[in-house]
Chain A
Amino acid sequence: MNKIFEVPLYPYERSPDQDAATSVRHKVIVIGAGPVGLAAAIDLAQQGVETVVLDDNDKVSFGSRAICFSQRSLEIADRLGAGRKLVEKGVLWDAGKVYFDNRQVYEFNLQPDTGYGNPAFINLQQYYMEKALVERVRELQADGAPIEIRGQNKVEAIGTHDDHVTLEVETPEGPYNVEADWLIASDGANSPTRRMLGLDFEGRVFEDNFLIADVEMQADYPTERWFWFDPPFNRGQSALLHKQPDNVWRIDLQLGNDIDPEQEKQPEKVIPRLKEMLGEDVDFELEWVSIYTFQCRRMERFRHGRVLFAGDSAHQVSPFGARGANSGLQDADNLCWKLKLVIDGKAPELFLDSYSRERVEAADENIRMSTLSTEFITPKSDMSRLLRDAVLDLSEHYEFARPLVNSGRLSTPCAYSGSPLSSADALNGPEVTRPGSACPDAPLGDEFLLPKLAGQFTLLTIDADAPDSLEEGGVTATRLALSVKDDLTLELKRRYLGDAPSAVYLIRPDQHVAARRDKFEENAFRQAIRRATGKE
């Protein structure tokens, strides 16, 4: 057993709050030290916002859980100061095989996507992500940043008020009360916060069970993603084999919705199944087995007064496409700069409704995409199955059918369409950078674009004039002046100009496009800043 599960990463320590005569008020309290809660806390602390993370545990999450982190997550982690560590530890892969019944129908090699600072995705156990983020918290603390994690602090009751939240927290040394101006609930799919506030989790559309096994083996399989439709060892269902760091292989076996989870989890049931899958002569050791049940659903809205829901507490999708943790990190990315502006009085409190508006759109997109995958993997009608099988049979013979094979479409950032924060598109430019989109990276000689857009409003000019900075209502956009000549690969031109000769972009602190035009026009960009900060 991997010892990372055993060692407390943030052991319980008595806090002065527990001895205070009256409840201490914090700026922000985050419930849950998973990837989403930690990312939010780091983001806020980096902006100088005092943040306390409460977690009922004191260790990383048990088992691999989320294992595929997308490019956008790595870009966010870069901004949080933890990205490099993840890429160094993670497994990069670009090839895969697809099996149908008892045969391989095709294999693929993803063309390496060039001109990005981060790979399209990496495989990495969630516990390494959490460990890297906790280490980043420690670095920030060493630099004097106002951030704290309290292990074995379990929130037992929540009181909501117009301008703050009160919490009753249980610890190994008894309960204490504490308060916060703002509460971020990133306490997972079974969110106790959601339950304590009596909020619904609506839109259940699909139920399934997965057997997830982490298997340690010295196999010389190539680093590939292998996906089985309807294999002999798991009839009528799917299976996935994927490599993680440390010779740990992740095996996902879909079990359907009519099973006995306790029975399926027993080694005498699991091991023969895995032997059938891997071959009798492969030596392996089970590191972790879990039955995972999911539903596709989301809360109606992610903001309830001073309580903000982020990650699985707000939305849940099927695992196809790695849209769980990745979308949760984007929630944190979307939320924190907005919360900072509201805390600083530079945006109205209602501005935070745009967090819900934009991330609900993203959750709906993720639910839609993962439901399409689910329908392909587990067809719901005879005709749906017939068409699915036809696609798989054709894919063995003809290239055209391969893009129709849907074993999960990997998480990509949502381009917020029609967001109230976006200004009308005023550039005849590329689709990928229309207002609402997450900025795609681009090479700039030895460097990359995205690290230059970190954490503040940016006025990106490409072969266009503009002032060095533009201040509107206390919010400053700082100019980043580029030329197509800065990127000889022409990706900057392809992604940001298209056929336009020049462009000016207003980019939000979360690296999403707020507005774009061919030239700088002061009034238009002042209005764009007001819009992007909820004042228009």
Chain B
Amino acid sequence: MADLILTPNLDNADSFYADLVAAHDGLDRHDSDALNARLVLILANHIGDTAVLSDALKAAALKDTR
């Protein structure tokens, strides 16, 4: 079972970040939020592993790291 990766892992970080921002271009707040929600669900399904997802939820809360 793989651990949650919290070190650099993106093939092309700048390009992904630009794509993520661009995906929200022209969307109002509600549609942007909805897009993010769909994206989270798609990525979560791709990961699948409960333990990794649970660690990701904790990591996103920015508690007890640093």
A interface, CB within 8 angstroms of B: 386-387, 389-391, 393-394, 398, 400-401, 404
Contact = CB atoms under 8 A, between A and B. Distances in A.
A381 to B, nearest CB: 13
Contacts of B34: 386, 389-390, 393
13 contacts: A386-B33, A387-B37, A387-B41, A389-B34, A389-B37, A390-B40, A390-B41, A391-B41, A393-B34, A394-B41, A394-B42, A398-B42, A401-B41
A404 B41 CA distance: 10
B25 to A, nearest CB: 19
B37 A390 contact: yes
A58 B45 CA distance: 54
Contact of A393 (B33, B38, B45): B38
Of the listed residues A387, A398, A401, the one surrounded by the most CB atoms of chain B closer than 10 A to its CB is: A387
Interface string B15-56: 000000000000000000110011011100100000000000
A199 to B, nearest CB: 39
A390 B38 contact: yes
A522 B3 CA distance: 46
Is chain B's binding surface mostly helix, strand, loop or mixed?
Answer: helix
Of the listed residues B40, B41, B45, the one surrounded by the most CB atoms of chain A closer than 10 A to its CB is: B41
B17 to A, nearest CB: 22
A400 B38 CA distance: 12
A390 to B, nearest CB: 4
Given A386-B34, A390-B40, A398-B42, 16 more contacts: A386-B33, A386-B37, A387-B37, A387-B41, A389-B34, A389-B37, A390-B34, A390-B37, A390-B41, A394-B38, A394-B42, A400-B42, A400-B45, A401-B41, A401-B45, A404-B41
A386 B38 CA distance: 9
A389 B33 CA distance: 11
Nearest to B38: A390
A302 to B, nearest CB: 33
A398 B39 CA distance: 13
Contacts of B41: 387, 390-391, 394, 401, 404
Nearest to B46: A400
A57 B38 CA distance: 53
Nearest to B37: A390
A404 B45 CA distance: 10
Contacts of A391: 41
Nearest to B45: A400
A390 B37 CA distance: 6
A400 B43 CA distance: 11
A404 B42 CA distance: 12
B28 to A, nearest CB: 13
Nearest to A390: B37
B47 to A, nearest CB: 12
A11 to B, nearest CB: 57
A521 to B, nearest CB: 36
Nearest to A401: B41
A394 B34 CA distance: 11
Contacts of A389: 34, 37
Going nearest first, the 5 A-B pairs with the smallest beta carbon separation are A390-B37, A400-B45, A390-B38, A387-B37, A386-B37
Contacts of A394: 38, 41-42
A393 B40 CA distance: 13
A409 B41 CA distance: 20
Nearest to A400: B45
A389 B31 CA distance: 11
Of the listed residues A390, A391, A400, the one surrounded by the most CB atoms of chain B closer than 10 A to its CB is: A390
Contacts of A404: 41
B62 to A, nearest CB: 17
Nearest to A388: B37
